Amino acid sequence: MNTPSGLIDVHHHAIPPAYREALGDSVAIPGVDYPTWTPEASLEVMDRHGIAASVLSVTAPGVSFLQGEDRVRMAREVNEFYATLIAEHPTRFGAFAILPLPDVAAAKDELAYAIDELGLDGVGMLTSYGDRYLGDPEFEPLLAEIAERGLPLHVHPAAPPAEDLATFDLPPSLYDFTFETTRTVVSLLFNGVLERLPHLKLIVSHAGGTLPFLAKRLTYGPTIGKYLTERAPADVIASLRGIYYDIAMSANEFALPALTELAAPDKILFGSDYPFMPAEHTTENVTGFQSYAGWSEQQRTAIGRDNALALFPRLAKG
């Protein structure tokens, strides 16, 4: 197929060896076949699909399956692995620093090390930690520091925190991840975090989950319950339009029209979800991105490359 060249993939997972060993036989994401990964495999898939660079992250469960100092040490090992890999391939890889959440104090320490010492490109977080979504007041000081530093924050869904939630014996990544993204953004909206941190460069996964479909519905909070009048954002749609959306698992005729109605073209980013979605899906997502008729070629270039380079200027040097 004819592939566009120079794509920047902001949703590309890495599985550092030490991290995989620490997971052991743990169920990382219920019902999901855990893939093998090597940097060489990523580079091969990238080369085959015209992807110039990928910004790496660890998917759910992050390091939250560990406790205390073990969690802190694993976050450090992952971030140092990223830094080594970037040093070896400076034009091909970037990375979102992983933080030892829900310990906010430890997370702020690791943030400083990962950005100031290791030079990583942004921060990766999950939609929830324990039973708290990112709009919880406990996380706001960390989000404020990320915003003040001007760092991109990529938010990836995790399994729902409610252990007794009926899942129909289906993996949460099949459908529930989209709702987790929606839940965490709604918590940020109705707790006022996005209004207080207007410069937060928030990137949400998978075309925003169900946010494009629910955007107008979310404006009806005070209509449904007057007690929400003080909590509702002044302009829900404007707040949602201030978010960046990656199109991992979403470059198709069903998701892209809704996303394109909500998000401006300068807020959409390419993503592959490799290797949790295999190379064949990268082909599918690149094809969907390339063939979608709802964008001009100038917009397609922005979505595939230029928007990401504005967020990750180091990769523009490649």
What is the model's pTM? 0.96
Q: What is the 3-state secondary structure (H, E, C) of 26-45?
A: CCCCCCCCCCCCCHHHHHHH
Task: Report the distance separating Cα 138 and Cα 140, nearest Å.
Answer: 6
Percent composition of the chain: helix, strand, coil (DSSP 3-state, to 5): 50, 15, 35
Any idea what DSSP says for residue 86?
H
Q: Which of helix, strand or coil describes residue 15?
A: coil
Size (the chain), residues: 318
Q: Classify strands 132-133 and 128-129 as parallel, antiparallel or unpaired.
A: antiparallel
Tokens of 211: 């946010």
Query: Domains (ranges, CATH) in the chain?
Result: 7-317 (3.20.20.140)
The candidate with the shortest Cα–Cα distance to 130, out of 108, 158, 109, 99, is 158
Chunk the chain into consecutive blocks of 10 residues (it has 318) and report each block's average pLDDT, rounded to whole numbers.
72 97 79 90 97 97 95 98 98 98 98 98 97 97 98 96 76 91 98 97 98 97 94 96 98 97 97 97 97 96 97 88
Predicted local confidence at residue 5, as pLDDT: 67
